[in-house]
Amino acid sequence: MFGNRAQPPIKSLIAEGIVIDGNIRFTEGLRIDGRVTGSVTADGDQPSILVVSEAVTVTGGEIRADHVIINGTVKGPVHAAELLELQPLARIEGDVTYKALEMHQGAIISGHLQPVEGEEKPVLKLAANNP
């Protein structure tokens, strides 16, 4: 995904029970276990990763990072510059752009899927349902 570069560390956490009304900008890695109303955007030129946990709802803005992992609900557009991973409980109500997409059985997208423009063809991987 990031070539020879290591995946960025998750250095920030919005813990369960935290409610944020406003936009969030982060660097490197962020995990959301709380509720966010607003945009969540990776800042800077460094690789970034964003994890949206299963009991989470993010509404009212866009999500933008290099690597996005969703297992909760997002109401708004999602932009993954590199990889978008949709876990089984993922629910997206909005348009999605991605370079590579991995979608587990049970994930739902209510919106348009648009690969990131470039010379390479987008990668779509359907995750196997492992017992």
* pLDDT over threshold 60, residue 102: yes
- pLDDT surpassing 90 at residue 7: no
In whole angstroms, give the CA distance from residue 76 to residue 59.
6
129 is a domain residue? no
> Residue 16 belongs to what domain range?
10-113
Q: Give the Cβ contact number of residue 118 at 10 Å.
A: 8
Residue 70 tokens, joined: 């969703």
Q: How far apart are CA 61 and CA 51, in angstroms?
A: 16
**126 neighbors 101 (Cβ within 8 angstroms):** no
The pLDDT of residue 44 is: 76
The answer to whether position 95 is within a domain reads yes
**Is there a domain that residue 40 lies in?**
yes
